[in-house]
Amino acid sequence: MLGLSAASGQTMIDTTAAVGIQGTLNQIGTPNLTGAVQSAQGAAATVQAQNNATAAMIAQTTPAAPGAKVTVAVTPLTAAQQALLEQARAAYRAGNLPLARTRFETLIAQNFTNPEPHFGLALVLYAQNDLKGAAFELGQFMTMAPDRFEGPYNMGVLATRQGDHDGALKWYAEAARLLGDGANPQARRQVLDALAAEQAFKKDYAALTTTLESLAALAPNDNAVQFRLAQALTLSGRGATALPGLYALMNRVPNDPAVPQLIADIYVMQGLPDRAVRELDSALPRMSSGTARSGLLLHKAGLLAASGNAAGAVAAARDATRADSRNAAAFARLAEYLLARGDRKGAQDAALSAVRLNPQDARARATLGSIRLGLGLYDAARNDAALVLTLKPDTVTHAQALYIQGVAAYQTKAYAQARAALQASLARQASADTALWLGLTAYAQKDYAAAIDALTQSVKFSPTANARQNLASALLAGARYAEAEAILKGLVQEQAKNAEAWYLLGLSQRAQGREADARVSLRTAAGLGNTRARDALKS
């Protein structure tokens, strides 16, 4: 909050709960421009404040809304009261909060209609975590000093701390309005930083751009502000507009990898992925550390993967691991790319390196579990999934861990465990594959109605031939022959050499009493090598 200064009545920044702006457009896989602006704790800084309390006519004892001008007539402090004010401020600065509170409250009792003791008491109460009391005193301060920005600004701090982002946004906007363009630059920057943080939280990138343009005008040589402005322009759909500033910034800080990464993402947004990759390549020699080069190479890998260049993505990710052998994210990404290409052994080696470097990376551990599941290492896969669940994974990774547990349990015939895990996974994230395995599990338990439900869901998510064939099998087992036949007829039309589909079609037709049709289908299946169809023809 805005804190107290010396006898002059000026103010200084004490602490803030406002958040600053950080962010990057470097997302795994396809660059993800939504949600790229993240929040971080705002830094404290000293400012000079205005001290021009204005007299008015009407009193109000509750905090005024932003823009309100309800005031009371201000009574100046006597010399003795001014001395007591300085003693209260000194106690506050010394950290003696109980004494400071007593002195401010004594002064308020002597002169209620002066804003300074109300402001000082608000700071003390905030430091004592009495947010309700602090808000009340700030309300009193604002009725007596409606043209000073400190009141709305600190009301914004209180709102931010309590998670009231709508309120914080309104209060910071009011503080910025009161400061105006001619205010002390440090004070204005503090308020604009807080306002920008709330706009970023709201993802109001157009308003954020306007605020950051004002900040950039205040600090034209501040590279961090210039970069934040480029991010905001990109997030508001004006990436091309950000390019001149980014190239200028790149000339000033040529070894900062964040700048060419953002430039590359902008070119991707313009439909120029090859240009994006060239920008990253040209920036690599300018990087002063292996860590920076590794980050650029990993970003390049993501762009290549998104454009369908799987081999290029693997090569770039591998180069990233070589540039920085401690980059756990590079090994994790390499594992994912290798797994996508079917190289399970190479993927396992990369994933093992990732989890050794960062044992707390839930996503990397889940990737390792998926790889081991594909290799038939079911116990190891289950252990990996169990570890993931202890690492507070995000929703997607949590669902993946449950899926691994479910499939591993199915493969070891622990069907009850499999079903519980797969149901929990599906509840967290809709997935055709999870629904398929859930249907297979229910089928193995001879719960054909549940199998039909799960497999129908899988087909809705992704109508693959495998899912439809399994659904047809479940329908047959559930004596829903006509429905099974309809699905199987479609399958054999698409896949004339699908022996299993022809066999199941024959069974569905026989079950409906159409033996001639059934024998045609069964003979086709037998001709394609299905031994069960040959046996069925004997009956």
Q: What is the pLDDT of residues 288-340, one digit of tens each?
A: 999 999 999 999 999 999 999 999 999 999 999 999 999 999 999 999 999 99
At residue 183, the pLDDT reads: 66
Kindly report, residue by residue over 232-266, the tens digit of the pLDDT. 999 999 999 999 999 999 999 999 999 999 999 99
Kindly report, residue by residue over 271-281, the tens digit of the pLDDT. 999 999 999 99
CA distance linking residue 521 with residue 527, whole number of Å: 10
Contact 37, 45 (CB under 8 A): no
Mean pLDDT estimate for the chain:
87
Kindly report, residue by residue over 191-201, the tens digit of the pLDDT. 999 999 999 99
Strand-pairing partners, residue 2, are: 13
Residue 6: Cβ within 10 Å count: 11
Q: On the CB side of 225, how many CA atoms lie within 13 Å of its CA?
A: 18
Phi, psi at 390, each rounded to 5°: -90, -5
Q: Is the pLDDT of residue 49 over 50?
A: no
pLDDT interval class at 181 (50, 70, 90):
confident
At residue 1, the pLDDT reads: 53
Which residues, including other chains, have CB under 8 Å from residue 257's CB and lie 6 or more apart?
Answer: 283, 287, 292, 293, 295, 296, 299
Residue 38: Cβ within 10 Å count: 13
Residue bearing the bigger pLDDT, 538 or 436: 436
pLDDT interval class at 72 (50, 70, 90):
confident
Q: Is the pLDDT of residue 25 over 80?
A: no
CA distance linking residue 371 with residue 367, whole number of Å: 6
Kindly report, residue by residue over 143-164, the tens digit of the pLDDT. 999 999 999 999 999 999 999 9
Q: On the CB side of 38, how many CA atoms lie within 13 Å of its CA?
A: 9
What are 516's two structure tokens? 């001639």
- State the residue for tokens 């590359």: 264
Q: What is the mean pLDDT of residues 366-392?
A: 96
Q: Is the pLDDT of residue 70 over 80?
A: no
Length of the chain: 539
pLDDT interval class at 182 (50, 70, 90):
low
Whether this model's pTM surpasses 0.85: no
- SS3 of 45-80: the string is CCCCCCCCCCCCCCCCCCCCCCCCCCCCCCCCCCHH
pLDDT interval class at 498 (50, 70, 90):
very high
The full set of domains in the chain, from first to last, is 238-358 (1.25.40.10), 481-539 (1.25.40.10)
At residue 44, the pLDDT reads: 26
